[in-house]
Structure 1
């Protein structure tokens, strides 16, 4: 059979393009590795060997589209999945949400990616418990959406087997489900009318608005980071101020803390930030300003005083680089005065100290965009050293003409001080190195288990759950081995739990490589340092990682460790961390040896030193 992994990426993209053109499903925003694996799984089931042949197969077999969509859209869901998170929703989040609203205010809920409806009906049960059936019918509307029409049809029918209702406590099952003649149970009809199911593509379709509670659990994890960002922007628009966003345990809001505040980070409950706004929020603000009808007098004087009182040192120059405005903080910080207004910028010491400004001013004027100059150090002599982040912003009129340039000096000395404290704290991690060495033999014994579990842990779990029914047919033959496997599984769970706690507890970045220099383990410290998630790093060749570390130099040290079982080396390298800052990183590399002295890999310990 042809090795499909070696086929050009364009061949796979042709499959996605065909799905979009023929059925309107746009999967281009999904993570490629997961999509490729699922499409190839379906191709193997129909004995198709390459992507071009599969496109022909889809054109000739209309039913194959449904089978492929069911493979790609895993639709793994359950009532009250991850009970701990639902307990928080029941005990704290929903009571707080209701307390902020009047007794007659409507409650609008959006369950995005609802699959076969279990999540939507779980929310309905909690709200019915909090409001009572009568209050629920009068106030609540739940909009449940998905892209899978087959799953939506099941959800509208609202009937479930006893196995599917295992997550529902017995008391709630008796109150909210009615047993049918065939043994299945259906959700109460009088409450079901409040749950409205419809198709909505999170990538392409407009969001539902004025939402109080938005649940989207373990759906974002299948999209690329760029697509996730767009979807979260739509969620922010959909939610009312202080509306609640409830995500799955595999999802975080890294990089979106400006628009969502964490209510409980561990259980993935967030609130819409009152002052945050994603891209495009300036349009709302502008509209509000235009609707204002109050005549405010003395605006020029008010603007002048507001500019002068700003805590950030700021200088404004004209389009000809003549100093036009200097606020009070700039005067006291840089020794400027009113006499400097009207002078060319090049005649002021400020033009080249603490940083050469003229080039940045010209660039901001030419490119019509704000420039950020980081890590600007100003040695003030006896007064100590001050660190600035300088923002150079062009001032553009409605005709895109340059009126001038604003130069703002943000004092970031306190943040630099924190970095120094962090460096001091890192030195205390050296005491943990001995403990790490003592786990080498345990790491060696669990390498094979780790290799089968570290690659895309969360998404693989979802796929494994979707195959549970197929595995049920093989259970009878495995009964005799259950006791042995259970004992072995307990030992492996304890060992894996211990290993996971060790790697998680270390603040330094720890990377374990196999003999082929592929990543076996990537701890939280490495995620924090480089901004690469564990699922993205593990299984990837060291030299293929997209991080700010000079990998050829690190790779050379790692190869020596793989060749010499007694090798240990320490190097200090210039790097760029996940925040885009230039830092110094100390890398300690040593061989990973078995009890017999055989080299089974290498361990890299990385910590930022400056």
Structure 2
């Protein structure tokens, strides 16, 4: 990936230097031809021809930096850009990547040069389809980086127009996007697995332990030297067998030692199995070692060095017999000098804190170092974490002569890592809460706007209702006046009725015979004073009671047929002579006149009983 470079222009280089010093953007590694063309395009847009004048313009107008960066950093991206390459990633590479990892292993992905986020969210959709939503949220972290802060802000917002989501299937849109105010927003629960941040590929340190690194159509903007630096960083960032996914216009023909092609057509490469880069190597060139003569006391010196080593270490001979044990191993695992010469299988350390014999055998037969991570060991009531290195020991002829087992105490590092992960989780939670709060505030603002509009409409309705109520109030006032007139009329009628009732009461009281009036149910409606004197039952006790239920001396069974006849026949009238017992308990003869109580319609509404004594009452004993 070389380019015919023109001679450097000092004035143009001063523009790049000013941008780097003032804003931290290092464009010195970009290809000069395309870079100069884009800067000149921006200068022409603001009407400036001289580079020095353009530096003055940048100093006077801070907003010009944003316009310049948007011109230089062409953020062309879309969902699943180059579908054929993404289909290959979906059908071949992702299943293979997942198969090489355990069911609970974390999966770390880096989208370098993510622009406005479509590439990062495409990766999220791809892995969520393979893993399922729950497992995706638990295992996958996607780190999306770019140098353009404006593009990152858009990516964090995670909302796209209809044109920006063109090409996505309807079922993908339905499962992974929600409509908000005419835009499509990526699902919030999956959005939390995508972490955006600013990273300059030329200057900033890479993200480490990456399983899949996607950097499409970004390297082509850099010159060959800068590409080499970036690719060395990518090599350091990738885990063993990690994959690098580039764009159509990018190749790695000059970096065959650190990357192996997986599919050249689709620009997919794998980190070489036994490759190293200069990025993480601390070797000073020109430093040579000379040994003209064997130093004296070498064996004693080696024993002292092993004993003083800060790392617990055990050395096995060719026959897997304990040959050397240093002081750290004695203190940590209860070994002693008496264990030297014993078979390794007879020592507790061969299976505690972890079974080591299989690793020792593999290191010996395969002649390669083995590393065992996160080994937990309880020592003195506290938990200690080790990383165990099992290394084959070879002689000058590269023949195995033994195995070294070193126990590196990584307790502090693990605690720091746990604290760092906890801090990252808190930071992510705080960011998510902030993002959620921002979205809620936007939603609340929309709701408040709608509420204001509703209140304005309600106010107009209330004004109209108030006018109607005033009209109704006038009508009610008029009705009230009419009701007052009616009330006065009713009051006059009531007075008249009271006078009529008093008049009728006077008539009933003044009549000598006893009078009883019953309704159609034979319940007493009138009971005059003469009836009280005759039968000894007061008016308030009699009215409302059933005639036939009265406990008086009148022979009611003999009276019943006549009363019932009067209730049905409006012209019925009969006279009876009845033997009765008055209120004093004396026998007497009562003449009783029974007739129907006719209403205005001519029908019978009840019966009237008129009673008087025809014979003077006699003492029961005399009779």
The structure with the largest alpha-carbon Rg is 2
Query: TM-score of the superposition, structure 2-length normalised?
Result: 0.46
Relative contact order (C-alpha < 8 Å, sep 6+): which is higher?
1
Query: TM-score of the superposition, structure 1-length normalised?
Result: 0.47
